[in-house]
Amino acid sequence: MRILLYNPDNGVTRNFMPHLWMFLLQSLTPDGHEVVLIDGNAQPMDEAGIARFVRRTKYRTCRSARDPQ
């Protein structure tokens, strides 16, 4: 399975300090899965940009419990 984790731009500081939760989830992902991390502070994307990336690279996405739509 290919997994995409996107951390949105915080919109305040444009801080390029990495968020460790993404790396933690990547390290805890079982072998056989590919995880791609995109930090919105380094590469800002809106929903349409993420959708274009997913279509172009054929990544699957899942929504978090906070975003049930």
48 confidence band (pLDDT: 50, 70, 90): very high
Supply the mean pLDDT for the chain.
76
Distance CA 69, CA 63 (A): 8
Residue 8: other Cβ atoms inside 10 A: 13
Q: Say if residue 61's pLDDT is above 70.
A: no
pLDDT at residue 65 greater than cutoff 50: no
Give per-residue pLDDT as tens, 5-22. Answer: 888 877 766 666 667 888
